[in-house]
Structure 1
Amino acid sequence: MPDVAVDALDRRILAALQEDAHITMEKLAALVGLSPSPCARRVRNLEAVGIIKRYVAVVDQDKVGLPVSVFASIKLERQREDELDRFEKAIARWPEIVECYLMTGQRDYLLRIVVKDLPAYEAFLKRTLTRLDGVASIESSFALSQVKHAQGLPIE
């Protein structure tokens, strides 16, 4: 982890919090072999330096009626910095796009889009993505099933 010294105890804390961010400080401290006060100080430090960005609830995509994941590869007409910035600002507004990566290779961006069904994706595609200035092409791939989706990083 860049610019910040993270020792084995910090790594154990991070691994435990990635598994259950709702864990009490007492349980976390016991799990990593510290008393609650030093453990809480370490957690606050990890938050302060930005290693822990935020705490979130992991929601089941299927159970909230958004079972379809679409991966859209986007090629822009030009890859100038202002064009990239404009694209990134535009797609940041749409909650259907849950992940976006600037890529190397044939395509410029890879998006993960979640929707309730194929007609919803078609509408999103026609009403939003295809209307963005500077988009040369869009290639969509539909996930048949999710084999693995790790929330945590392999930090140990």
Structure 2
Amino acid sequence: MAELQLDKIDLDILRLLQSQGRLSNQELAERVGLSPSPCSRRVKALEESGFISGYATILSAEHFNLSLTAYVQVRLDKHAKDILESFEAKVSEYDEVQECCLLTGSDADYQLKVLVADMNQFKLFLLDKLTTHPHIAGVHSCFVLKQVKSQTSIPLPETS
């Protein structure tokens, strides 16, 4: 399948869906200057080509009493492929972990974004889950005092 070449209308569709994902096809079509059928075909093509990877509802953590965010840097004692894969598989099971990134240019091997209710829940997560992995050599945690910016949209190229 040939890679889809994005034009101004495709980029406009993507911008609108990133910021207002609940727009109906009719509303989306009106805003980008298309009739509903071609708009629907474009959205389907954007989905099939992977430009749109999914749809989600973003919940408010505060409404679920999840008010403590921690960034946890993890250093492993060995870097064999099976050890990295084992750690990644285990971390993927933890609902508290919002993100897990393999790093370079740092003393840490991974950085986790962890969301819990309070310090006691963080302690339980850290001691009962995370540090039970046999190859963890060190953990360093930082706690968020204030979230200055949070977004789910990605920057798209400007249209001419």
> TM-score, normalised to structure 2's length?
0.92
- 1:130 is aligned to 131
User: Secondary structure of 1:62's partner?
Assistant: helix
Measured in 2, the distance between the counterparts of 1:124 and 1:37 equals 49
Number of residue pairs matched by the alignment: 154
Measured in 2, the distance between the counterparts of 1:8 and 1:139 equals 45
RMSD: 1.1
- 1:121 is aligned to 122
- 2:89 is aligned to 89
1:91 counterpart letter in structure 2: V
Residues 48-104 of structure 1: CA distance to partner in whole angstroms, max 9, x if unpaired? Answer: 122211110011111121011000001111122211111110101011001111111
1:136 counterpart letter in structure 2: A
Residues 21-63 of structure 1: CA distance to partner in whole angstroms, max 9, x if unpaired? Answer: 1110011111112111111001111111222111100111111
User: Secondary structure of 1:34's partner?
Assistant: coil
Unaligned runs of 5+ in 1: none
Residues 138-147 or 79-88, more deviating: 79-88
Unaligned runs of 5+ in 2: none
- 2:150 is aligned to 149
- 2:29 is aligned to 29
1:44 counterpart letter in structure 2: K
- 2:51 is aligned to 51
Deviation at residue 4 of structure 1 after TM alignment: 3.8
- 1:104 is aligned to 104
Residues 58-67 or 139-148, more deviating: 58-67
- 2:72 is aligned to 72
User: Secondary structure of 1:74's partner?
Assistant: strand
Deviation at residue 151 of structure 1 after TM alignment: 1.1
Measured in 2, the distance between the counterparts of 1:113 and 1:40 equals 37
1:76 counterpart letter in structure 2: L
Measured in 2, the distance between the counterparts of 1:154 and 1:20 equals 15
1:68 counterpart letter in structure 2: L
Measured in 1, the distance between the counterparts of 2:118 and 2:131 equals 18
- 1:20 is aligned to 20
| Regions of 4+ moved over 3 Å | none
Deviation at residue 9 of structure 1 after TM alignment: 1.4
> TM-score, normalised to structure 1's length?
0.95
Give the share of equivalent positions with the same residue, in percent: 34
